[in-house]
Every structure is written in structure tokens, then in C-alpha cells.
A and B are shown apart, each in its own frame.
Chain A
């Protein structure tokens, strides 16, 4: 396999349009890469994997997956999935912002570092450094925000189907703020938090506190070691299971 990093001649036209920066658009237009500077490794014979290393003001966009990654630096790989080009793997560092849109909802992950891996039927994002995950649903008129020092998220594969964010787990001190569709907020904290969109649950463990405010009727929960908050289809907290 040839290991020579250089600008791909194939992308010379796209690069020229970037006014001194780096720009790449896949042939079908489903992946675009933009940065101040970048290198792409030509795939070895028989391989369809493009390795790239982008620096300064990086934006990597995968239209099929509904993924946009912005960061100071992104190193990763592009590959083919059928007729599509997708981001197979990307490690983003420095002011990372990963946006996943799907089915009327927008999930935004920010942090100091994100390691994104396409797993075929899903994508795994491992995050660290002031992690913040937000979800806005225009359909449910609901929003939640998860914060913590590190964690990981599993994303759905497609831009137009599924929940976008399937699960999110935050470790080392987590907090979730749920804005209720009919007003009010529920805020929960614990050492670890797992959000499961399919099960519509938020599971917290370790020094769990939950506080409802405004129009929320949840009340305040303290001194719990584990709490499972169950949400309805509107994103309202409708039940809890708590252990000390």
C-alpha cells in the first residue's frame, strides 16, 4: 500500500474553489470536506478507503448519514457504501461539533474530542472533554440537553429515518435537562446517565437527583442510587423507577 500523503490531483478543481483552503466533494456530492489545509491519502489498489487529515476550520459533511462534523482538526477515512460515499471513521479534536439530523430532529454533540466510527447499521461516537449533547425535535416540540465529561453516543445510519441519536451514555458526572412540551423542565444528575431513545428512558446511577420545575409535576428526587425516567411519545416524564 502506498503511504504517500499529498493533495489528490482528482480534487484539484474543488480545491481551487476553496480560496487557499482544502475542499473535497465526492463524485455523487454526498460527502464534502472543507478545511484551511488538508491531506488525503490515495487508496491502495483494490481499496476504496480514502484517508484524510484536515486542519483548521474543518467541516466534514456526510449527506446520506445526516452528519456534519466541525472541529479544529479531523483525521479520518472515507469509504463506499453501495453507491454512496460515507465517512467510515473520523477523529475530531478541538472545539468539536457533530450535528446529526434525522426525521425532524437535530442532535448536536460538542466536546473537545470525538471519535466517530461508522458501524454499518449505526455509528458510534466516543466523546470526551466537556461533552454536551442536545436534541431538538420539531415534531415533538421537545428539547433535551445532556452534559458531562465523557461518554459515547450511538447514531442511526440514515439522515431521513430513525431517531438520529439512538443512545447516549455519559460517565463521570452527568446531567440532563428535559424541556417538557407542555412547559416546565426536569433536570436530572448522576454519576452515569444513559439515554435510550427507542425505549424512551433516561437511566441514571450514582448519587442521582431529579428536579422538576415550572409546569412539571415531577417534584424533587434525592439520595437515589439508580433512577429510570420513562418518557412518553411527547418526551414528557411520565414514570420513574428508583432504587436507593
Chain B
């Protein structure tokens, strides 16, 4: 590739739809067959993770501790990022009690918490697969924490498979903190997008300086 075509591709490139070459793929995520709250079968990596930015939480339908408060917080997160939901950002809530939570129970939970929203999928599956996914995504390498199902509900895993970026945040942190963590996994911007953003910012600065003689906000 010559220099001209390199810069041209940088300027024109779109958000990569394919996973990052460094993405661990199904070897880490597994490609387990799960069921959604709408009773549809999905492959965990191929259908839910591959090339996407996702926010994954753990829950169970009869959880009366943190889960309702966390779901309420996730609704706030959803509302703040509504424009992106189901397009380039997806939310998944995986039950940690798959023996008890069938698709109907998950749908009932989602309905009860007003979380039946596009781009947000509740998931269940074979206990073996769910446990594997739980450990792969939320493991702390601490036996007591890892075996405590309730403690798992207090973590949000943010993954952008297209950049292989993984983050974790406590959903009960401030909304700003949660949104900030999600933004850190946002898709990389193209050179063109960054140049446009810089141009717009410079115009704003120039306008403020012209009007007030100095910048109003830094």
C-alpha cells in the first residue's frame, strides 16, 4: 500500500464491522447457544458480540437485592444512549440462574422493570454455558467472590469487540461514570470525523474569542 492509498483509506474508513484481529473470538466468549427473552435462539459470539460494542450485566428474575436498583440504573443508561441502542450499542442481561429463569420469566422481569426496550436483550441458556460465560467475562480469580451469584450482579462488563477493548464498571457508580466507561469503548473515529470535530471546536473557540475577547469555557 502506498502513502496516498493509506491516507485515503484512513480518511474514508468506516467503523469496522469485523472483529479486531486481536479479538479473542469464540475461544474466550464461547459460541454457546442461548435463548432471548423472546425465546429466540442466538449464538453468544456470532450473533451478540462479533464486531459490536456491548454492555453486559448479570441478573436473575427473583433477585430482590441489588438487581431492581441496578436495572433501574441501566434504564437511565439506556435513555442516555437511546440513539445508539440497537444500532452500534447493545445491552445484554444474562441470568445467573438459568435453571429457574426461562425466556418467559426473563420477559416478565423486563416488563415489570420497564426494560422491554429495543437493543436490550435478556438471555438464558444451559447452566453449563451460562457458568462458562460468567467466569469468562466476570471472573475475579477469587473463589468466594466468583461463587457468590449476588456479587456478580454488581458489575457491568463493557466490551467493544471491533477494538478488543474491555472495561468494567459498577452500575451503581454515578450515571456520568457509567457513561464515561461506555464511551471509553466507543468505536474509533475516522480521520475525517476527527478533523470535522476539530474544525467545529475551533470555530466555536474563534466565535467565543471574537465575542468576549477570551474563551468562556475550557
A interacts with B: no
